[in-house]
Structure formats: C-alpha cells, structure tokens
Structure 1
Amino acid sequence: MIAGLAQNGFLEEAFNIFKDMPQINVVSWNAMVAEYSQNVFVENPFETLKEMQLAGVKPDSTTFTSVLPACTQLGTLEEGYAQSGLS
C-alpha cells in the first residue's frame, strides 16, 4: 500500500501511513527509501536509512539498491558507502 501510494504521487500519504504503523518491517522501510530516492527528496533516503538502522531493522540488498539513485543524483558515492555500514 505504501509503495502504491508513493508511486502514484501520494508520497505524503504514504509517509503518514508508514509512520503510524505499530511495527515496520524491512519491506516497508525499503518502500520509503526507494520512493524518497526516486522523488525530489534526494537526501531523505539517507535519513530514512539511518532511522531504519536505529529502529533495529537490518537493511538488505534491496535497501542499498534503492539508495543508489540518490548517490548518483548527489554525486556522493562515499556517502552511500558510509551509509551502508560497510566502511
């Protein structure tokens, strides 16, 4: 539902549903990371990734693949690498 709303231009509505969820799994986190990365909120994927990790949800390969477009737009491969926790 979150991804469907966001992909159809209802990013704010998707975020409101997301933040009201009692427990958020990696799939829901990935949906938000991907949508922020693909929309005008280029820096939000990094913030969302940090929040995801602070919430104790382990990012997966889908998470990092979703952050790559933001790294490209910002020209900050180093930032993406740092956010991955691999540094």
Structure 2
Amino acid sequence: MSTVRQTSTLAIVSLVSGILGWTLLPLLGTIAAIISGHMARGEIRRMPDRLEGDGLAVAGLILGWVAVAFWVLGLIVLFAFFGGLFWLGSQ
C-alpha cells in the first residue's frame, strides 16, 4: 500500500508569495517567496515519501530571485542616471 503524498504548504506559500512579489507586495512578497521556497525544498528533501511540491517551490524561488535581480538592476540604473546628472551639473 502506497502512502498519499501531500503538497508542501511552504511550497504553496512560496509560489503565492512570488506572485504577490510581482503584483501587490513587491518587497515583502519577494522576501517571503525566497525564504519559504528554500525552506520548502529542504522540507521536501527531508521527507520525500510524505511531501511533494518541489516544482511549486522552485517556481516561487525563480519569481523571487528574478524580482531581486530587477530591483538591483533598477537601483544600478537609478544611481547611474542621477550620477550622470550630477556629473553633467558639475561641469
């Protein structure tokens, strides 16, 4: 008799947080997606016979880390823009 595997709650939280990080809660959703995604993957690895949902956790992690990359890129562009304006103004 095989046991029924349950979807990890943390994996679902990671995916939902990742979506929220791109829509309603940019900063909090992104952080929650990354943290819960890593926790879910660890939980699933520790109990592979009881839990599933690694794909959900990975999707949440991807959404979270891509959002972080865009935040960093946006800050670089912002600083470069204002740095250029400052440089032009100082001449």
* TM class, shorter-length: 0.3 to 0.5
Which entry has the higher C-alpha Rg, 1 or 2?
A: 2
Structure with greater proportional strand content: 2
Q: RCO higher in 1 or 2 (8 Å CA, sep ≥ 6)?
A: 2
Structure with greater proportional helix content: 2
TM-score, with structure 2 as normaliser: 0.37
TM-score, with structure 1 as normaliser: 0.38
